[in-house]
Amino acid sequence: MKFGLGLKIAAFTSALIFLIGVALLGVLVYQERVTLHNMKMDEAEEYTKRTSSQVGNALYNLDIRELRRVVRSALEGDVADLVWVLDDKGRLLTDGSEKPFLRNQKPPYPIVDMLITSKVMSNAMDEQHHWTGVPVMMGESTVLGYVVVAFASEHLNARLREHLIKQLLILIPALFFGVVAAFLLGRRIAKPLEALSAAAEKIGGGDWGVSIGVNSQDEVGDLAHTINIMAGNLSKVAVSRDMLEGIVAEKTAELQKHYDHLQESIEERTRELAQSEERFRGFAESTSDWFWEMDENLRINYLSERYEEVTGRPKAALMGMTRRELADPKSLEADAEKWQQHFNDLDEHRPFRNFEYDILSEFGGGVVTFSVSGVPVFDEHGVFKGYRGSGEDASERKMILEELRHSERKFRSIVQTTREGYWLIDPQTKETLEVNSALCEMLGFTEAEMLGKTPLDFVDEDNAKVFASQMATISDTDHRSYDIVLKTKDGGDLHTHFEASTIRTPDGTPRASFAFVMDITTGIQAQNELRQARDAADRANQAKSEFLSSMSHELRTPLNGILGFAQLLQYDPSTPLTGKQKDSTDFIIKSGNHLLELIDQVLELAKIEAGKISVSLESLVICEVFDECTPLVQGMADKRGISFAQDKSSCENVRVLADHTRLKQVMLNLLSNAVKYNCENGSITVSGETTENKMIRVTVTDTGHGIPKDKEQNLFQPFERLGHEASEIEGTGIGLTITRELIHLMGGEIGFESELGKGSSFWIDIPLAVENGRAEKEGTQAVPQLDDTLDNPIGDAGKTYLILYVEDNPANLMLMEHVLEMVPNVELISTHTAELGVELAAARHPDLILMDINLPGMNGIEALSWLKKRETTQDIPVIAVTAAAMPHEREKGMEQGFVTYVTKPIQIDTFLQAVRAAIQPS
Amino acid sequence: MGFTGEFHWQVCRSTGLRVLALMLLVLTLAVATPSWAKPLTFGTISAVPVEEVQVFQPFVDFIAGQLAGDGIDAGKVVVAENVNQMAALLKSGQVDLFIDSSVTALVVNKLAGSQFMLRRWKKGREQYRSVIFVNDDSPITALDDLKDKLIAFEEPFSTSGYMLPALVIRAQRLGLNEVANVKSAPISGRIGYVMAYDNETQAAWLERGRVQAVAMAEDDFLSFSKTALKPLRALFVTPYVPYHVVTHRSGLDARLVARIKSVLKSAHETEVGRGVLRSFEKTTKFDDIPQSLLDNVLEFEPFLQQVIAPQ
């Protein structure tokens, strides 16, 4: 529905008139109310005063009947709704009724309290009544009582209503006429405009002949005149309808074409927009960022759905908040400068990127770090509308960065506090990037003096080559370890050890090279000292070995003569010895053997102490080894009437892992000691038992004198004979020492128990073999059986064998001559030098050569080598007959090619067996 | 105030009534009316005679109508100003029946020689008694303690408010004299009394110490006790007396008396009669006065002069 101008004017004017009328009425009514109220107040007070004047005497006399009458009289006429007469305490005496309900009670109305308090005329209002009260006085100060009158407000309201009705009766007609006038006014104003509108419509319809008949002297009249002129002008333009229609049609077609094109463009743009939106949505959904917007007050008014997915926090908590409100107060305080910069950006409407801040935990989910970027948004007029941007949860990254920084700090702390130097260089330029205080202190340079320089600046020419070669491998190696001598600031040398590493980027490109530098100057010195000490020790050992070897040789050589000739004396059947002579030769042989034993033991102890003795462990039947030892001591035991008792039950077929020779040596030592230190006609008991730790314990118990307690601790000390040095009991004091060392070498243990006067028990624990099977012995020399008689021919009895003896010692030569004279089919030739020996060997081609090693000029080893190189002599067996009894000498000799290595002093029978074996190996 | 007030118009009126009665008699005779028919006159004492006649007339007319066959042709109401006047009217035969409180009726009977006839259950009440009471904290514990004290009575012709309690006090051989107002002092050794002419005034005087005791009907005492300013205590309770009675003049025909009694006693048995009685100050019925109650009234006879006659 269209509301014309005239109607609008009429409505507006009517509304205005109405509003003015209502306002005016309200004012009048209010004024009237005030006036009536005041009048009513005056009337009420007057009425109350009048009533109170009538009750004075009755109050004084307490004449309730009279008071009742007065009250009833006052109530007549319906002026007052209620009249009370109260006593001086405000208690009701009468309200005009018989026996009033509130008799003797103070009516609970404010007017009563006001009267009692003020003792003057008082007024009060409530919704239904206007209250007036007055004290009834006798004199100036004595209150007889009070009169309270209540007037119904309805009276006042009735008066007001009456007045209001009167006013309305006046106002309504006035409003009516006003509305009518407004409509007439509107109509008057609208009519010319309607004429104008009709004319314009006609003109718009093509009828330019219209003429508007509005001649008022105002803007409307001017407009009508103008339109008339315009219509006239239009009619003057002589454009035919068809031509115009044609033009219009043409233009219309053109417009339609453009429209279609535009439509296509719109559709295409719409598609592109949809794709872009889809693309954007895809980016938004796939990215871990969320998008946000702020209004011009910098309050967040948009968060993409991604926010809740990424952060797990409700969007609602952030909506309407500013960044300052969201921020953790600690962050605001800690990063005040950063925040201020950000606020400045926001205030200046500048874009920002990657602004990180901690969001307050009250917004759910604990304290997290957001990283936001944003750009300001302006409308087409350049007015700032807010911000738009993206955000991400940077908590993890921050945490990682924190950890990285912490790790960096930790690394820095370690680098700076370590006593080792730290040197970081550029892998390309080799320039120093960083050093620590320890390195500076080592070299005596400051950090500033070192930065920018290369390591080559801190070495001499020789060490520069080392540096250069190492630095050349930075790209190719990850770790390099080398020693180098640096030059200190004061020109001194600093021996250092470099542990260098290459730091690479993920693609492997060297990013830096660092090294930890250790000052090894002290270590070098220590090494040098150690080396020197070791060299000295080696030299000492060497000297000791040479001494022992020399002593062994020097002692053995004369012993060879002593024992050899003594043996010859005993064994020469052509010249048998008398008993006394035999005793003497026995003593000579015995003493010689003792001396030889002592020499051997000393040499062995020396070898053990030097760690040069080794054991060859094999699986052995313990009882068999014991059985080998028993015969060797039986003779000695029989001489003293000592009996043997052997309990094999627990070790029958028990195998141990031990060195056969050394085990036998150990058992012989224990048995011989048990015999030597036993009592006459005593006994020796040998028993065995397996222990919990996979060993077998062999115990040798004697019935000797026992060992004093105070001497037990010296039992295993070398050369310690516990007081038997002056006794007839032979011994070197080294046997148990060697026995203990040998047992330990075999992984066993030795111990003893002794009781003075009763005897001693020596035990050895030997490891049980894992396999209880017979094992082959190894590393032992083939010892010929001693079952041949000395004068039996060797080899082929019908052949005479030629033996060449190379010996420079005449006594030994003589001994050998005498020994070999006993063999019927042997011819001996000899020489005293190795040079003559090899010539003689080449010339005479003996069947056997007996070679001393320690010879003047060419020694025996060299002679053997010469012989082995000659085709004519290489097959001749050569037996070494030498006092060089050291194991290494023996080994060396056997390696050179000796078939047998016989040490001096020789045992004739053993020697002859060796000769027979060499000549006839089968 | 007392019984000293003049009221002559009743006398004038009675004279006029006599003349009228005579004329009516003549007329009655002229129309062959029984010659012995006459009105039955009820009398009462009141200070507001117009209102009193309005109250009595319907009832009187009803009773008279019931007695039409007994020679009663009308009912009349005569209002006297005081006891003496009523006694004179009864004695002179101008009033046949007197209705009032039992003690007032006793006084009138003594003066006029009239006799008790029936009990009227005015306002449905058959009997009542008076209570003399004091403030509960008063040292007065017996009537004898009222000597030299003031007691407030209601009004001179109130049975419960004056005559009954006054007769009781007299019967206790206690002196009782009226004083001018509450500020007056009683004669030494005697009990002073003042008329308050209003129950509420009586109560107010006692509550505020203007008087030391008050006498009023028991019902009123109980009512005021509920709204008393301070607790009240009954000092003495009088015997029960009939609330209202009907007396007849001496010389009234015994048969008529019997007939009147019968009519009054049966008046409540009909709907019409109940309606008439109800409008007659809510009277429920008339019955014979119980002897015990009558004895209580008669016991005060020796002391009537002391209560009624001016001191």
Whole-angstrom distance, CA of residue A264 vs CA of residue A257: 11
**Chain A residue at shortest CA distance from B203:** A64
Do B204 and A64 lie within an 8 Å CB cutoff? yes
Chain A stretch 614-673, residues whose beta carbon is closer than 8 A to a beta carbon of chain B: none
Task: Give the pairing of strands A683-690 and A643-647.
Answer: parallel
Q: Which amino acid would we find at residue A248?
A: V
Mean pLDDT of chain A: 86
Q: Residue A501: which of A411, A413, A424 has the closest Cα? A: A424
Of the candidate ranges A319-333, A561-575, B74-88, the one whose mean pLDDT is the lowest:
A561-575
Q: Give the ipTM of the model, two decimals please.
A: 0.77
Tell me the chain B residues in contact with residue A93 when contact means C-beta distances shorter than 8 Å. Answer: 200, 204
Q: Which of residues 124-153 of B touch A (CB under 8 A)?
A: none
Distance CA A517, CA A501 (A): 12
Residues 6+ apart with CB under 8 A from A6: A183, A186, A187, A188, A189, A190, A191, A193
Residue B165 confidence (pLDDT): 94
A905 preceded by a cis bond (ω within 30 of 0) = yes
What integer is the mean pLDDT of A139-163? Answer: 85
Interface contact A71, partner B, CB < 8 A: no
CA-CA-CA-CA torsion sign (B272, B274, B278, B281): positive
B249, B91 Cβ separation under 8 angstroms: yes
pLDDT band at A338 (very low <50, low <70, confident <90, very high): very high
Q: If you write DSSP's letter for every residue of A753-803 in order, what string do you get?
A: EEETTTEEEEEEEEEBPSS-S-----S---PPPTTS-TTS--SSTTSPEEE
Write out chain A residues lying below 8 Å of B200, CB-based: 64-65, 68, 93-94, 98-99, 103
In chain A, residues with a C-beta closer than 8 Å to the C-beta of B195 are none
| DSSP H stretches of helix in B155-303 | 164-171, 199-207, 218-227, 254-266, 271-279, 291-298
Distance CA(B173)–CA(B166), nearest Å, equals 11
Q: How many beta-carbon pairs below 8 A join chains A and B?
A: 40
Most confident of A788-792, B156-160, B244-248: B244-248
Q: Are strands B38-45 and B97-100 parallel, antiparallel or unpaired?
A: parallel
User: Distance, in angstroms, between A122 CA and closest chain B CA?
Assistant: 26
Contact A441, A453 (CB under 8 A): no
A93 CB near a chain B CB, below 8 Å?
Answer: yes
* For A102, nearest residue in chain B (alpha carbons): B227
Q: Which residues of A touch B207 (CB under 8 A)?
A: 104
Q: How far is A173 from chain B (nearest CA, A)?
A: 57
Distance between CA atoms of A58 and A75, rounded to whole angstroms? 17
Question: pLDDT tier at A773 (50, 70, 90 boundaries)?
Answer: very low
Query: Residue A830, Cα to own-chain centre: how many angstroms?
Result: 83
Residue A507 has pLDDT above 60, yes or no: yes
Confidence of residue B21 (pLDDT cuts 50, 70, 90): low
Q: What is the average pLDDT across B144-166?
A: 91
- Distances in Å between the alpha carbon of A76 and those of A71, A96, A123, A158? 9, 11, 22, 19
Question: Using one digit for the tens of pLDDT, what is the confidence trace for A707-765?
Answer: 999 888 888 887 778 877 767 777 778 889 989 999 998 999 999 999 999 999 999 99
Question: In chain B, how long is the greatest CA-to-CA distance?
Answer: 74
Looking at beta carbons, which residues of chain B come within 8 Å of A99?
199-200, 223-224, 227
B201 vs A64, A99, A105: nearest CB? A64
Whole-number pLDDT of residue A683: 93
Query: DSSP code of A103?
Result: B
Q: In what order do the strands lie in the sheet with A122-125?
A: A92-94, A82-87, A142-152, A129-138, A122-125
List the single residue in A93, A98, A105 with the smallest CB-CB distance to B204. Answer: A93
CA distance B283 to chain A (A): 22
Query: Which H or E element spans position B213?
Result: strand B213-217
Confirm or reject contact between B182 and chain A (CB < 8 A): yes
Summarize the confidence of residues A174-202 as an average pLDDT. 86
How many C-beta atoms lie closer than 10 Å to residue A748's C-beta? 22
Neighbours of A133 (CB within 10 A): 30
pLDDT in tens, A192-217: 888 888 888 888 887 777 787 877 78
For range A772-788, the mean pLDDT: 38
B-chain residues near A98 (CB < 8 A): 200
**Among A309, A312, A315, residue whose Cα is nearest residue A286:** A309
**Contact (CB, 8 A) for B44 and B77:** yes
Q: What is the pLDDT of residue B8?
A: 53
Q: Answer whether A884's CB lies under 8 Å from A901's CB.
A: no
pLDDT category at A780 given cuts 50, 70, 90 is: very low
Selected residues 107-146 of chain A with any CB under 8 Å from a CB in chain B = none
* pLDDT above 60 (res A265): yes
Q: Which residue of A has its CA nearest to B229?
A: A104
User: What's residue B68's pLDDT?
Assistant: 92
With contact defined as beta carbons under 8 Å apart, do B170 and B306 qualify? yes
CA atoms of A289 and A353, how far apart (whole Å)? 13
* Among A335-339, A480-484, A546-550, the least confident range: A546-550
Cα A658 from Cα A849, distance rounded (Å): 36
The residue length of chain B stands at 311
Whole-number pLDDT of residue B276: 95
Q: Say if residue B33's pLDDT is above 50.
A: no
CA distance A167 to A156: 16
Q: How many residues belong to chain A? A: 922
Give the lowest-confidence range in A56-65, A367-376, A777-786, B279-288: A777-786
pLDDT for the residue numbered B5 = 44
pTM beyond cutoff 0.80: no
Q: What is the pLDDT of residue A365?
A: 58
Chain A residue with the nearest C-alpha to that of B201:
A64
Residue B238 near residue B162, CB atoms below 8 Å:
no
Residue pair B241/B159 in contact (Cβ under 8 Å)? The answer is yes
Which residues sit opposite B130 in a β-bridge? Answer: B217
Cα A52 to Cα A782: distance, rounded to the nearest angstrom: 165
DSSP A461-494: HHHHHHHHHHHTTTTT-SEEEEEEEEEPTTS-EE
Q: How far separated are the first and last CA of chain B, in Å rounded?
A: 12
Chain Cα centroid distance, residue A683: 72
pLDDT value at A186 more than 50: yes
Give the CB-side neighbour count of residue A27, counting CA atoms within 13 A. Answer: 6
Instruction: Read off the amino acid at residue A294.
Output: M
**Mean pLDDT, rounded, of chain B:** 88
Confidence band, pLDDT 50/70/90 cuts, at residue A630: confident
Subunit contact B182:A61, Cβ cutoff 8 A: yes
Query: What is the 3-state secondary structure of A313-342?
Result: CCHHHCCCCCHHHHECHHHHHHCHHHHHHH
The mean per-residue pLDDT over the stretch A516-524 comes to 87
Q: Contact A63/B224, CB-based, under 8 Å?
A: no
Q: Is residue A489's pLDDT more than 80?
A: yes
What gap in Å lies between CA A825 and CA A821, rounded to an integer?
A: 9
Q: Which neighbouring-strand residues pair with A373?
A: A390
From the list A3, A131, A149, A178, the residue with the least C-alpha distance to A77 is A149
* Pairwise CB contact (< 8 Å): B204 & A62: yes
Taking CA–CA distances from B227, the nearest residue in chain A reads A103
- Dump pLDDT digits (tens) for A222-264: 888 888 888 888 777 745 666 777 888 888 898 899 889 988 9
| B227–A99 CB contact, under 8 Å | yes
Tell me the C-alpha distance between A465 and A126, whole Å: 116
Instruction: Tell me which chain A residue has its CA closest to the CA of residue B195.
Output: A63
Terminal CA-to-CA distance of chain A, rounded, Å?
Answer: 149
Where is average pLDDT lowest: A147-151, A153-157, A207-211? A153-157
Q: What is the mean pLDDT of residues A263-280?
A: 85
Which residue of B lies nearest to A101 if distances are taken between CA atoms?
Answer: B227
* Tens digits of residue pLDDT in A418-473: 889 999 999 999 999 999 999 999 999 999 999 999 999 999 999 999 889 998 99
Convert the pLDDT of each residue in A356-380 to its tens digit: 888 765 665 566 788 999 999 999 9
